[in-house]
Structure 1
Amino acid sequence: MTQRLRPRDVVFLAEETPATPLHNATVEIFDPGESGLDHARLVQLISERISFVPRYRQRVQVVPGRLANPVWVDDEAFDLAYHVRRSALPRPGTLDQLRELVARIVSRPLDRNRPLWEVYVVEGLAGGRLALLSKSHVVLVDGVETVDLGQVLLDVSEQPKTLGSDPWHPHGSPSPLGLISGAVKDSLDRPGTVLDTLRTNTGSLLRGVEGATTRIGTVAGALAGRRPTRVSPISGELSQQRRVVAVRTDLADYRTIRKVHGGTVNDVILATLTGALRGWLMNRAESLGGLKEIRAVVPVSVIDEELEATSLGSQIAAHPVKLPVGEASPVVRLHQVSYSFQAHQATGRAVAANRLAGIAGFAPATFHAIGSRVAAAELRRDAQLVITNVPGPQSPLYAAGGRMTETYPVPPLTAGHALAIGVTSYDGSVFYGITADRDLLPDADVLGQCVTEALDELLDTATGARPRAPRGRRRTRAARDADAADPS
């Protein structure tokens, strides 16, 4: 039994290029302790639990003549050893060395002829630690049919749960004639199939024309000696290489700031990023000039029956927010960001952080994946930056007995957008994962330093101040529920 890709997924596949590989990644660092966690143990764990995400053993099969959208089919030649790979850093490996390795790995597109995921077990980190780098294509993890593999690998205690697994017997790949017959049958049984196919093919044609026009313009400009004009410091024509920056901060600092200035921890995180972007821009050779704000899109969890349901207990919607990088006062920046979420919380659709953090399994990787899918549409309009901020559990999690100590999201870049930021809170810390184009943002490390400086700047304003809510804003019930949970 095959399942057809939805039009949105086909669009993602059509838009992917060598310069814009559309996979989400996550870097998780583990302390093996006495568990003996190593490559062999992780391979065994994945082999036992991959049955809970059956799409991880399926590949995309194109229908001849594009008579219908492609389908998911079992990969009869599925090889776990291909997907779970072993790597190492020169001992004692540092976080900077790990980031360089991750940047090289996430720069490479996934093989379309195989299931669209890879996992790298990286050994050699200082202190005997190891890292788990996972890559999953945005069409693979939709939060509806499939969650991220990492969500089923982690346990709440050192003793792994015995979940059991079903023996896997792949269905034979359909023949070209079978694919055509299936397309005709679906068109007759489900008239929407014809519309989906027409919409997909038309969209692919228009994107092809648009891409060709852009390339012609670029070549013509190069022949004339003109450089492409950059709309903003975080936009431009992407290279095929990435930079990855990882920043770890204390959740307690955000709670302190929230207690003094009001709002939510989410507001403080976005205000911190606003201050970081401001500091980074001012550290560059260029000045802020007329740049007063950066238009960001922040996927948020909502309860809305009109949106696509997910398996995570809520829907994901894109929330636009203007980050006031032109504002000098860190407190005013915080209040302005906080105001931008007032309407969202006042609708009553907002989902409290404690509900998200309490989802069975480690859901942030799945939320980041869904957020990237939702935000893609906004980036085609006028948004300049995607920030996915997801709360995780505030107690330790384990893989095969090894304790996860750090987790960094590595969001993908889309065409024309040289920067993307993911944030995950977990076990008393807030982890930032920054993905940047290697050529357009050679100083991405400075942005990482500016994150800690912006947080310190906000924390300084909270010293000796009296707790109060931002002026003109009353605390909504959704905000109070979110604060009661604290992780985000």
Structure 2
Amino acid sequence: MVDRVRPRDLTFLAEETPETPLHNATIEIFDPGEGEGAFDHARLVALIRDRIAFVPRYRQRLQTVPGHLANPVWVDDENFDLGFHVRRSALPRPGTSAQLLELVSRIVSRPLDRTRPLWEIYFVEGLEGGRVALLSKTHQALVDGVHTVDLGQLLLDLQPEARELDPDDWAPRRSPNPARLLSSAVRENLTDPGVLLDTVRTGSRAVAREADRRSSRVRSFAAAATGRRPKRRGVINGPLSQQRRVVTVETRLSDYRKVREAHGGTVNDVILATVTGALRAWLMTRAESMGGLRQVRAVVPVSVIDEELEATSLGSQIAAHFVDLPISETSPVVRLHQVSYSFQAHKDTGRSVAANRLAGIAGFAPTTFHAIGSRVANAELRRGYQLSVTNVPGPQTPLYAAGARMLASYPVPPLTPGHPLAISVTSYDGGVFYGITADRDWIPDAELLGSCVQEALEELLELSSATRERAPRGRRNPKAKPRPKPGS
């Protein structure tokens, strides 16, 4: 029985273009340690070789069926080369964060090689402070949370000492020849109506996509011939180029908890209110003056318990939640309350999953959750949102890769057609780490948005401090001097 690509996974492959490479990425920063036991490229290769058996699809490639009579199949890569997928790079010492992000931006702009397993990991040396970075790229079609989790979820341990695992004696199975693939496709189309329906749908979508692409080429050619530039479709929405810009922001989880204690809501609400404030400040610095926007429609993937949705191996399903970020509101506290109100209906359904439950999943689950969240955002494109924001809580204790402590983890979300901006957030070990992906041409000032995230959080903190200093109604401020007793 062949392992056929599911229709939804095939959609991600078919819709990928040079302008929209559909892979998720993650930047992880490590303290490599010193001496012979330091974390280096060789130790990373050995670690991946030790753990890759748990995700068999990371050693499989795509193979098409002759005549496209059925969806492609996953087959073992008989020429699998771990050295091709685990690459070594370096920055000129001492490498700055800006240099690292420039390297990351160029790497995530390139699509993955379709003739090989759809993932890559880069070991980047030369960071200031003696640190090293891992940059992973994994195609959306590879990680679905059902059959395959992200490899990054399996590489980290709770202790510096690596877990002892049984040796991996993997040997690739011989790929089926074209004649076998053809006969299998014909047989399945005749005996399984579901396979035939998937084949017809795939062909119809391919024809429609090709027509759209040709129409787009005609419009582009006409615009070039007349010297006209494409019209702007919105301040944060527009056509994509083939280049990306990546921005990261590090904040502290304790700050979000302070805001939550002062004004209510959840940490997730405070994060989204911070994003809202950052968008407002950033847009107000541009010539568009927010382009007349009063709110930004955002899709926020959330974890739910819902039997009607596809089950994942993570103990919950992922659903899309839509929220209007009130960027026209001047008060940071009112923005927070409006965001909290939007999520209250979701909480009242009883389907929501607590953040501490997600953070307690074995391994480093945020990498898998971000991958599933990107799939959800892609599937909801027709709903007309303007921005995707994915926030995933991770463990609040340090994790280790081959003995090296992970210091930070920044998600790098993919961009979808017409959406030149995406934001993802991961909390880990007391930190909250933002990853912002922007189209290099449409949003050249993405670094400014990163600065606005810091400023928006600081604004909320200042207001929270002022609130705590004021005594609650009906209670005295413990710092206030005691009132004199009557008659004293």
Partner of 1:4: 4
Q: Is 1:21 aligned to residue 9 of structure 2?
A: no
Residues 1:381 and 1:215: Cα distance change in structure 2 (over 3 Å): farther
Counterpart in 2 of 1:472? none
Q: Determine if contact 1:379/1:385 at 8 Å carries over to the other structure.
A: no
When structure 1 is superposed on structure 2, of 453-462 and 30-39 the one drifting more is 30-39
Partner of 1:288, secondary structure, is helix
5 Å-filtered alignment, 1:136-215, equals 136-215=138-217
Q: Secondary structure at the match of 1:260?
A: helix
Which residue of 306, 309, 328 maps to 1:307? 309
SS at 1:463's partner residue? helix
- CA distance in 1 between counterparts of 2:469 and 2:292 reads 34
- What is residue 33 of structure 1 aligned with on the other side? 33
2:277 match:
275
Query: Structure 1 CA distance, aligned partners of 2:19 and 2:130?
Result: 35
Task: State which drifts further: 178-187 or 77-86.
Answer: 178-187
Within a 5 Å distance, the mapping from 1:260-409 to structure 2 comes to 260-409=262-411
Aligned length: 468
* Aligned Cα root-mean-square deviation (Å): 1.3
Instruction: Look up the equivalent residue of 1:52 and give its one-letter code.
Output: F
Secondary structure of the equivalent of 1:447? helix
User: How far, CA to CA, are the matches of 1:4 and 1:368 in structure 2?
Assistant: 24
| 5+ residue gaps, structure 1 | 469-488
2:259 to 241, 257, 260: 257
Deviation per residue, 1:45-85 (Å, 9 max, x gap): 00111111110000011111110001000000000000000
Distance 2:213 2:453 in 1: 35
C-alpha distance in 2 between matches for 1:257 and 1:194: 54
**Aligned residue for 1:471?**
none
Q: 1:421 to 1:29 in 2, by over 3 A?
A: same
Distance 1:230 1:467 in 2: 47
Q: Determine the C-alpha separation between the residues in 1 that align with 2:225 and 2:461.
A: 51
Tell me which amino acid in the other structure corresponds to 2:431.
S
Give me the whole-angstrom Cα distance separating, in 2, the residues matched to 1:327 and 1:229. Answer: 28
Shift of 1:186: 2.1
The corresponding residue for 1:97 is 99
Match of 2:221 in 1: 219
Query: Which amino acid is the alignment partner of residue 89 of structure 1?
Result: L
Report the Cα distance in structure 2 between the residues aligned to 1:195 and 1:233, rounded to whole angstroms: 40
Greater shift after overlay, 226-235 or 348-357? 226-235
Whole-Å Cα distance in 1 between the matches of residues 7 and 308 of structure 2?
18
2:482 paired residue number: none
- Are the counterparts in 1 of residues 299 and 377 from structure 2 also a CA contact under 8 Å? yes
Q: Which amino acid aligns with 1:402?
A: A
The letter of the residue matching 1:133 is: L
Q: Does the Cα contact within 8 Å between 2:425 and 2:434 map onto a contact in 1?
A: yes
CA distance in 2, matches of 1:76, 1:396: 37
SS in 1 for 2:290: coil
Residues 1:239 and 1:98: Cα distance change in structure 2 (over 3 Å): same
Q: Which moved more, 1:173-182 or 1:129-138?
A: 173-182
Note if 1:128 corresponds to 2:122: no
What displacement does 1:385 show? 0.8
Q: CA–CA distance in 2 between the matches of 1:273 and 1:339?
A: 16
1:78 aligned to which of 56, 77, 80: 80
In the alignment, the residues of structure 2 paired with residue 340 and residue 216 of structure 1 have an alpha-carbon distance, to the nearest angstrom, of 42
Q: CA deviation at 1:187?
A: 2.2
What secondary structure, in the 3-state scheme, does the structure 2 residue paired with 1:341 have? helix
8 Å contact kept, 2:396–2:429 = yes
CA contact (8 A) 1:389 1:424 kept: yes
Q: Is the 8 A contact 2:95 2:128 kept in 1?
A: yes
**What is the TM-score normalised by the length of structure 2?**
0.94
Structure 2 counterpart of 1:240, from 227, 239, 242: 242
What is aligned with 2:46? 44
Say if 1:55 and 1:140, in contact at 8 Å, map to a contact too: yes
In structure 2, runs of 5+ residues without a counterpart are 471-488
SS in 2 for 1:24: strand
Q: Which residue of 1 aligns with 2:415?
A: 413
Query: What residue number does 1:483 align with?
Result: none
Whole-Å separation in 1 of the counterparts to 2:33 and 2:367: 24
CA distance in 1, matches of 2:167, 2:193: 37
- Structure 1, 218-227 or 341-350: larger mean CA deviation: 218-227
Q: Are the equivalent residues in 1 in contact too, given 2:235–2:288 (CA < 8 A)?
A: no
Q: Provide the C-alpha distance between the structure 2 equivalents of 1:284 and 1:22, rounded to a whole number of angstroms.
A: 29
**Matches of 1:416 and 1:454 in 2, distance apart?**
26
TM-score normalised to the size of structure 1?
0.94
3-state SS of 2:207 partner: helix
Whose Rg is larger?
A: 2
State the 1:203 CA deviation: 1.3
| Cα contact 2:20–2:415 (8 A) shared by 1 | yes
8 A contact 2:305–2:316 mirrored in 1: yes
Q: Distance in 2 between matches of 1:20 and 1:233?
A: 19
User: In structure 2, what is the equivalent of residue 474 of structure 1?
Assistant: none
Deviation of 1:415 after TM superposition, in Å, equals 1.3
Is contact 1:410–1:422 with CA below 8 Å preserved after alignment? yes
The whole-number CA distance in structure 2 between the counterparts of 1:3 and 1:205 is 25
Residue identity over aligned pairs, in percent, reads: 71
Per-residue CA deviation, residues 148-206 of structure 1 (Å, 9 max, x unaligned), is 00111000010011122431111111111111111122223422000111111111211
C-alpha displacement at 1:288, in angstroms? 2.0
1-structure distance, mates of 2:85, 2:191:
37
What is the alpha-carbon distance in structure 1 between the residues aligned to residue 2 and residue 114 of structure 2? 17
Q: Residue 288 of structure 1 aligns to which amino acid in structure 2?
A: M
Question: Deviation of residue 232 (structure 1)?
Answer: 1.3
Q: Counterpart amino acid of 2:4? A: R
* 2:23 maps to amino acid: H
Q: What is the one-letter code of the residue matched to 2:460? A: L
2:425 paired residue number: 423
Give the distance between the partners of 2:154 and 2:291, measured in 1 at CA. 48
Mapped partners of 1:386, 1:134: distance in 2: 21
Aligned partner letter, 2:297: R
How many Å apart are 1:467 and its aligned residue? 10
